[in-house]
Amino acid sequence: MTQKDPQPGSLKTTFIGLGVMGFPMAGHLAARHEVTVFNRSADKASRWTEHYAGQRAETPAEAVKDADMVFCCLGADEDVEAILTGEGGVLNAMKSGSLLCDHTTTSAELARRMGVAATEAGVRFVDAPVSGGQKGAEDGALTIMMGGAEKDCDELLPVLECYAKRARRLGEVGAGQLTKMVNQICIAGLVQGLAEGIQFAKKAGLDPAEVVDVISKGAAQSWQMENRYQTMIEGQYDFGFAVEWMRKDLNYALAEGRRNKSHLPVTALVDQFYSEVESLGGARWDTSSLLARLENLSRTS
Amino acid sequence: MTQKDPQPGSLKTTFIGLGVMGFPMAGHLAARHEVTVFNRSADKASRWTEHYAGQRAETPAEAVKDADMVFCCLGADEDVEAILTGEGGVLNAMKSGSLLCDHTTTSAELARRMGVAATEAGVRFVDAPVSGGQKGAEDGALTIMMGGAEKDCDELLPVLECYAKRARRLGEVGAGQLTKMVNQICIAGLVQGLAEGIQFAKKAGLDPAEVVDVISKGAAQSWQMENRYQTMIEGQYDFGFAVEWMRKDLNYALAEGRRNKSHLPVTALVDQFYSEVESLGGARWDTSSLLARLENLSRTS
Amino acid sequence: MTQKDPQPGSLKTTFIGLGVMGFPMAGHLAARHEVTVFNRSADKASRWTEHYAGQRAETPAEAVKDADMVFCCLGADEDVEAILTGEGGVLNAMKSGSLLCDHTTTSAELARRMGVAATEAGVRFVDAPVSGGQKGAEDGALTIMMGGAEKDCDELLPVLECYAKRARRLGEVGAGQLTKMVNQICIAGLVQGLAEGIQFAKKAGLDPAEVVDVISKGAAQSWQMENRYQTMIEGQYDFGFAVEWMRKDLNYALAEGRRNKSHLPVTALVDQFYSEVESLGGARWDTSSLLARLENLSRTS
Amino acid sequence: MTQKDPQPGSLKTTFIGLGVMGFPMAGHLAARHEVTVFNRSADKASRWTEHYAGQRAETPAEAVKDADMVFCCLGADEDVEAILTGEGGVLNAMKSGSLLCDHTTTSAELARRMGVAATEAGVRFVDAPVSGGQKGAEDGALTIMMGGAEKDCDELLPVLECYAKRARRLGEVGAGQLTKMVNQICIAGLVQGLAEGIQFAKKAGLDPAEVVDVISKGAAQSWQMENRYQTMIEGQYDFGFAVEWMRKDLNYALAEGRRNKSHLPVTALVDQFYSEVESLGGARWDTSSLLARLENLSRTS
Ligand SMILES: NC(=O)C1=CN([C@@H]2O[C@H](COP(=O)(O)OP(=O)(O)OC[C@H]3O[C@@H](n4cnc5c(N)ncnc54)[C@H](OP(=O)(O)O)[C@@H]3O)[C@@H](O)[C@H]2O)C=CC1
Ligand SMILES: NC(=O)C1=CN([C@@H]2O[C@H](COP(=O)(O)OP(=O)(O)OC[C@H]3O[C@@H](n4cnc5c(N)ncnc54)[C@H](OP(=O)(O)O)[C@@H]3O)[C@@H](O)[C@H]2O)C=CC1
Ligand SMILES: NC(=O)C1=CN([C@@H]2O[C@H](COP(=O)(O)OP(=O)(O)OC[C@H]3O[C@@H](n4cnc5c(N)ncnc54)[C@H](OP(=O)(O)O)[C@@H]3O)[C@@H](O)[C@H]2O)C=CC1
């Protein structure tokens, strides 16, 4: 599609990284703002312009040069660093005073380093990792955790509403990433407990779906229990939030815990169990596949 | 209070064990049925008859002799065994064909053994452990997991509605206890994950309440997160479900897992962490005190 | 063979339980003392009298009736209880003032209960679990940990030298079993560490035998490293101390830890890993098969 | 002291980093070779020249400029990188074809990177971490694990004999560090098992020294048990290999495990337990202080 006439209040924006998450996020953005996209693999950028009203650029630098706000949603630390501060990097190409919002889940250290680099380049930086998964991105119902100057986060808020049902500032640059780490730490122990419970239910000869039906109204309830029990019972893991993404995030959390002197025994242990899931071929399986680890062992018996 | 005239459909019932849970449960029961209570320590029985319309008996055998249905809510395996099959035990004193419903959290083995003993005594047996805590008992909003013959569970259902908002049969005798074990297994890993997360949030310099506010709408959400984060942040543990009760239940789960060949690595580990909470003086603290263990270590630093 | 003429200092003894351990132990005993054996499965008793100079009895009671000292080496708690205090049990058949020495690895509770039962029967009791494995039993080079009255242990010492290279009293009845528990607790963490190390060496592309050669002279050295690295590298586990025996012993240790308020996080965790080895078919494999658990996961990758 | 006349076969060598380990190592070296030392804090270098026959240099570059072989024993990755490739770095100052042997425990990645940098600078590189502790260094009885070209390691061997009782090449550059990681992985689980065992012995009312006496001859034996049980029983940890060093090494091992797809559940867990020891004030305590963690919890009870 071609660009529509700008709506009142519409900003010039750029979205870099049209992966599972970025593609639909940029799409929601385009409903209210002018969007120029860039993706390393050109095909995703072409596909995006077929679906949504917006333009594509050939290089990151070109993509950002007129933007008021730039969003990116890439892979890991090294990817963000490459795009922002590498050769032909985005920061030096951005307009003075413009705002860069990074949706990638990275280390807090990387966020702080990018924050400093942005300041040096005369640009404002907010780290803003998301949760809600592919479905949250597609439905425009993500949760966003921001770290940055209050003024910058306030300015972002109405724009983020294009794809977020919740967005909140948690502190200075890096605080968004730290909050995302808390999220992943909570999930690690929780999912392992759930996996042990469902496995026990099966081994005990109970109907695990009936068990979940009765216990999911009380103290054992969790989002994971309600949204994953069925696929876990069916041994279906080809969807959702990938184990290798989870390990990336837990790696950041464990390294940060080393620095801030947290004690993360079960997080560290479950991260190793995820390494065993990867050895079972599950690098791209949903995080609920901790059950597959427990059951693989049983299958052979 | 003295006994009211029987309502239509009212049954002759007995309630044994007027502890934190049994006291209010028996009270709710008395609103619709004739209730005779027994408690080992006589004072609780007196206090109960002051609050509720019902009678007290001097011995368990006397308490049950005319009852259509007998309920008990005691401590652990050995207590149930003592009351049911010990000297002057309840099973031999019950009317032929009457129904015994045990709300104590016990091993499934004990439930099965009591089921057999009941049959020999011409009595029907249902194991029916509960969840929902003191508040659930007081509000009449417990969840009940039943194991027993279908007919027996069906017969119990309308009576249990006096204090349950949910009650479900999961299988033959023992299935209620097995389901409760699944519940506790799920909680163990979940609460440890939550404790690690909140501790990390504090160490990272975040406001943990704000963090919970933002992450509790997504994949990390749990009943424990929503209902315990505030007291955890305040280091308040003098309430709720006691660590020593939890260890009793996990002990049953781990022993059953040994039998049914489940793998429970994190459950076993967290049970040991609870032993460390006990060493900190926390045998009666709420299960969320896993955070106290992580923080005690830090406090001293 | 038939009984030889009694040597000077020779005692009338009985050995019950001619399994992997008891068979050669009773054989060594017969070199210096009169021995009557009993084994539940008669064939082992016959085979034993073919190999060694001694007699066999048809029942445990008959086997012990003239003995000064009775030794047994059975399976687990329930086996010892059955043989000692069950129908036709040994304690009531023993001569007043005679001495019973139990080599089975049991709970300390069982040992104490047997101690009390022995006293009631006018018999002395010493718990004396062993370590050293099948080879130690065959070579007469076991280590024996005794719990009992000092006088009783002193009296046993010269007799135990038939098959022990070390025997020591550690305290009152039960202390032998408690010491054996310490032994197994130490082994659990140690073997898991060793398994992780060897697995890492292979994954890192090192020659694990060369690695062990160089590190086994320093702070990482252990009996397990020196005596198991080769079979571990070869994935050979059909020998040694069986995983299911280990789990029995760890079960006793974990239950005792619950009582004496020990904290055993890694012991509890490794016990669960052993449950995973069992699911891989390894109930009878040597305890070093924790490596098989780590590698099974990798094999599939 | 001043330099002695060169002995036959004596080489011109340099030793950089005169810490707990390097100080005595360089001393042993000086007994057979010409040694020039450099230490960041000048006082240690002065103290060294008072004790041993050798010279000191003011800068690393000056220290190495005439050397045939250069040894260093520094802190962590970033320290080695700074000294070797930073401003005024050693590699560019060394003679073409000379040999650099790094005794620091680092990541294998750093070793490989330094190997490449050395080649670019026309210098040969061998990573050669040691084990044996302060005492091993003082007694000249270290174990050394080498990674490098065969020829280079062969050339080093006779020189390393100044302070090593064992030295072995395990593979190409990096293999020394990988071997050291195996060593630390084995120790982590082993020491935790030992700590749990000794704690259990005390809680069980046994005399832990007597227990160790009897079990240290069998399958539970380890260097750690024999060399640490006494100090552990006495709660003495102000010596030995510091917890914070151990965590550095485990951090390298866990990161490498992530790369080579090892599964290190107990290593990861014990690393977190060490973080708890640090919170107790034990960053500089010996690694056997895992027992202090278990006991701190009990002390308060
Ligand atoms: N998927 C999920 O459920 C969730 C993901 N996240 C986080 O969001 C981020 C994105 O995830 P997701 O969209 O699933 O990932 P994808 O792998 O689907 O997409 C990654 C995107 O980043 C681009 N990219 C990666 N590295 C580079 C680089 N070095 N240079 C240029 N472009 C690069 C990719 O380009 P190309 O197309 O060329 O490969 C692609 O557009 C991750 O940090 C993830 O942890 C957070 C919550 C949920
Ligand atoms: N508290 C909670 O939040 C929850 C508890 N549960 C389970 O419910 C059960 C009861 O818990 P709770 O009410 O809190 O416990 P309490 O300790 O408050 O009450 C236990 C009751 O059992 C009686 N009792 C115990 N042992 C014996 C015995 N040997 N002979 C006679 N009477 C005995 C006690 O009598 P006396 O007054 O004489 O001591 C008391 O009435 C437990 O199994 C617990 O695990 C389940 C869910 C939540
Ligand atoms: N194997 C080893 O390396 C070590 C073993 N141990 C301990 O030593 C003990 C014996 O081990 P091991 O010899 O290997 O075991 P085996 O299974 O080889 O032998 C067990 C013996 O006990 C007898 N037995 C078991 N239960 C009963 C019963 N209820 N009534 C009568 N007889 C019974 C068996 O009789 P039957 O022949 O009829 O089955 C058999 O003679 C165990 O407690 C074990 O934990 C200790 C250190 C090392």
In chain C, which residue's Cα lies nearest the Cα of A269? Answer: C269
Is pLDDT at D123 greater than 70 in this prediction? yes
Is there a contact between C264 and C253 (Cβ–Cβ < 8 Å)? Answer: yes
Distance CA D63, CA C257 (A): 58
Q: Report the 3 state secondary structure along A80-144.
A: HHHHHHCCCCHHHHCCCCCEEEECCCCCHHHHHHHHHHHHHCCCEEEECCEECHHHHHHCCCEEE
> In terms of Cα–Cα distance, which of D111, D99, D97 is closest to D145?
D111
Identify any residues that bridge with B14 across adjacent strands, giving them in sequence order.
B36, B70
* Helix count and strand count (H, E) for chain C: 14, 9
* Same structural domain, C186 and C148: no
CA–centroid distance, residue C40 to ligand 3 (Å): 11
Is there a contact between A271 and B267 (Cβ–Cβ < 8 Å)? Answer: no
CB of A297 within 8 Å of a chain D CB? The answer is no
The answer to whether residue B4 is domain-embedded is: no
Q: Which of A73, A166, A183 to mutate to test the pocket of ligand 1 (most atoms within 8 A of CB)?
A: A73
In chain C, which residue's Cα lies nearest the Cα of A279? Answer: C301
Question: Using a CB-CB distance cutoff of 8 angstroms, which residues of chain A are in contact with residue D273?
Answer: 265
Identify any residues that bridge with C99 across adjacent strands, giving them in sequence order.
C69, C124
* Same structural domain, A246 and A128: no
Type of residue found at C157: L
Terminal-to-terminal C-alpha distance of chain A:
57
Angle between helices D208-215 and D223-234 (to 10 degrees): 180
The mean pLDDT value for B14-35 works out to 98
Distance CA D301, CA D132 (A): 37
Which of the residue ranges B87-91, B164-168, C196-200, D269-273 would you say has the lowest mean pLDDT? Answer: B87-91
The mean pLDDT value for A270-292 works out to 97
Distance CA A78, CA B73 (A): 58
Is pLDDT at A258 greater than 60 in this prediction? yes
CATH number, position D153 = 3.40.50.720
> In terms of Cα–Cα distance, which of A273, C181, C249, A190 is closest to B267?
A190
Distance CA C56, CA A169 (A): 83
Is pLDDT at A54 greater than 50 in this prediction? yes
Is there a contact between D178 and C215 (Cβ–Cβ < 8 Å)? Answer: no
Give residue B8's pLDDT: 73
Secondary element (H or E) of residue C38: strand C34-38
Is there a contact between D44 and D18 (Cβ–Cβ < 8 Å)? Answer: yes
Range of the domain at D256: 178-299
Quote the tokens at residue D230.
Answer: 């006494």
Distance CA B61, CA A271 (A): 55
The answer to whether residue B113 is domain-embedded is: yes
> In terms of Cα–Cα distance, which of D59, D242, D89, D219 is closest to C190?
D219
Hey, which bits of C119-227 come out as E strands? 124-127, 130-131, 142-147, 164-171
The mean pLDDT value for A210-238 works out to 97
* Same structural domain, B151 and B248: no
Distance CA C206, CA C251 (A): 36
Give the pLDDT band (50/70/90) at residue B300: very low
> Do A189 and B186 lie within an 8 Å CB cutoff?
no
* Helix count and strand count (H, E) for chain A: 14, 9
Is pLDDT at D87 greater than 50 in this prediction? yes
> Do A281 and C296 lie within an 8 Å CB cutoff?
no
* Same structural domain, C265 and C162: no
* Same structural domain, B164 and B202: no
Q: Is the CB of residue B245 below 6 angstroms from any atom belonging to ligand 2?
A: yes
Give the pLDDT band (50/70/90) at residue D278: very high
Q: Calculate the alpha carbon distances from D246 to A23, A96, C253, D270 in Å.
A: 44, 47, 29, 11
Q: What region, left, alpha or beta, does residue D88 occupy, with left being phi > 0 and alpha being psi -120 to 50 degrees?
A: left
User: In the predicted model, what is the mean pLDDT of chain B?
Assistant: 95
Is pLDDT at A8 greater than 80 in this prediction? no
The answer to whether residue A5 is domain-embedded is: no
The mean pLDDT value for D165-181 works out to 98
Give residue C135's pLDDT: 93
* Same structural domain, C94 and C206: no
Give residue B5's pLDDT: 60
The answer to whether residue C130 is domain-embedded is: yes
The mean pLDDT value for A211-234 works out to 97
CATH number, position C187 = 1.10.1040.10
The answer to whether residue B5 is domain-embedded is: no
Distance CA D103, CA D172 (A): 15
Quote the tokens at residue B63.
Answer: 């308490």
* Same structural domain, D56 and D187: no
How many domains does the structure of chain A reveal? 2
User: In the predicted model, what is the mean pLDDT of chain A?
Assistant: 95
Give residue C129's pLDDT: 98
Q: Is the CB of residue C104 below 6 angstroms from any atom belonging to ligand 3?
A: yes
> In terms of Cα–Cα distance, which of B135, D208, B94, A165 is closest to C182?
D208
Distance CA B233, CA D5 (A): 70
C257, C262, C269 ranked by CB distance to B265: nearest: C269
Pairing verdict, β A130-131 and A124-127: unpaired
The answer to whether residue D1 is domain-embedded is: no
Is there a contact between A243 and A282 (Cβ–Cβ < 8 Å)? Answer: yes
Question: Using a CB-CB distance cutoff of 8 angstroms, which residues of chain C are in contact with residue B258?
Answer: 247, 251, 275
> Do D269 and A264 lie within an 8 Å CB cutoff?
no
Distance CA B113, CA B119 (A): 10
> In terms of Cα–Cα distance, which of C189, C153, C187, C156 is closest to C172?
C153
C263, C269, C273 ranked by CB distance to B276: nearest: C263
Pairing verdict, β C69-72 and C12-16: parallel
The mean pLDDT value for C214-223 works out to 96
Is pLDDT at D301 greater than 50 in this prediction? no
Quote the tokens at residue A19.
Answer: 């992966």
Type of residue found at D222: S
Give residue C19's pLDDT: 97
Give the pLDDT band (50/70/90) at residue A183: very high
Distance CA D140, CA D160 (A): 9
Give the pLDDT band (50/70/90) at residue A58: very high
Terminal-to-terminal C-alpha distance of chain B:
56
CB of C279 within 8 Å of a chain A CB? The answer is yes
* Same structural domain, D16 and D62: yes
* Same structural domain, B17 and B159: yes
In chain C, which residue's Cα lies nearest the Cα of B271? Answer: C265
Q: Strand, helix or coil at B258?
A: helix
String of DSSP letters for A250-279: HHHHHHHHHHHT---HHHHHHHHHHHHHHH
Type of residue found at A6: P
Q: Is the CB of residue C22 below 6 angstroms from any atom belonging to ligand 3?
A: yes
* Same structural domain, B144 and B182: no
Distance CA A78, CA C50 (A): 74
The mean pLDDT value for D250-267 works out to 98
Is there a contact between B218 and B185 (Cβ–Cβ < 8 Å)? Answer: no
String of DSSP letters for B202-237: HHTT--HHHHHHHHTTTTT-BHHHHHHHHHHHHT--
Give the pLDDT band (50/70/90) at residue B271: very high
The answer to whether residue B3 is domain-embedded is: no
> Do D280 and B297 lie within an 8 Å CB cutoff?
yes
Distance CA D103, CA C87 (A): 68
Last residue of a domain, one of A173, A195, A230: A173
For D2-60, write each residue's pLDDT tens digit: 555 567 789 999 999 999 999 999 999 999 999 999 999 999 999 999 999 999 999 99
Question: Using a CB-CB distance cutoff of 8 angstroms, which residues of chain C are in contact with residue D262?
Answer: 196, 199-200, 203-204, 294
* Sequence-distant (≥ 6) Cβ neighbours of residue A227 within 8 angstroms: B219
> Do B271 and C271 lie within an 8 Å CB cutoff?
no
The answer to whether residue D7 is domain-embedded is: no
Give the pLDDT band (50/70/90) at residue A5: low
> Do C196 and D185 lie within an 8 Å CB cutoff?
yes
> In terms of Cα–Cα distance, which of A133, A131, A181, A224 is closest to B224?
A224
**What part of C 14-33 touches D (C-beta under 8 Å)?**
none
For B241-265, write each residue's pLDDT tens digit: 999 999 999 999 999 999 999 999 9
Is pLDDT at D180 greater than 90 in this prediction? yes
**What part of B 214-243 touches A (C-beta under 8 Å)?**
214-215, 217-225, 227, 241
**More confident site: A297 or C1:** A297
* Same structural domain, C51 and C164: yes
CA D135 to chain centre: 12
Give residue C300's pLDDT: 45
Is pLDDT at D299 greater than 60 in this prediction? no
Q: In sequence order, which ranges of C31-128 are alpha helices (DSSP H)?
A: 42-51, 60-64, 77-85, 90-93, 108-120
Last residue of a domain, one of D156, D171, D186: D171
Tokens 């249990």 belong to residue: B160
Quote the tokens at residue A145.
Answer: 């955790």
Distance CA C69, CA A32 (A): 93
Is there a contact between A231 and A285 (Cβ–Cβ < 8 Å)? Answer: no
Give residue B297's pLDDT: 65
* Same structural domain, C158 and C182: no
Give residue C4's pLDDT: 54
Give residue A300's pLDDT: 45
Q: Calculate the alpha carbon distances from D202 to C109, C182, D205, D227 in Å.
A: 17, 10, 5, 18
Quote the tokens at residue A264.
Answer: 């993360």
For A61-74, write each residue's pLDDT tens digit: 999 999 999 999 99
Is pLDDT at A53 greater than 80 in this prediction? yes
Quote the tokens at residue C101.
Answer: 């020495």
**Angle value at C-alpha C283, between C277 and C289, nearest 5 degrees:** 45
Last residue of a domain, one of B153, B172, B191: B172
Q: In sequence order, which ranges of C86-107 are alpha helices (DSSP H)?
A: 90-93
* Burial class for D20, CB neighbours closer than 10 Å (0-12, 13-18, 19+): middle
Give residue D6's pLDDT: 60
User: In the predicted model, what is the mean pLDDT of chain D?
Assistant: 95
Is there a contact between C62 and C89 (Cβ–Cβ < 8 Å)? Answer: no
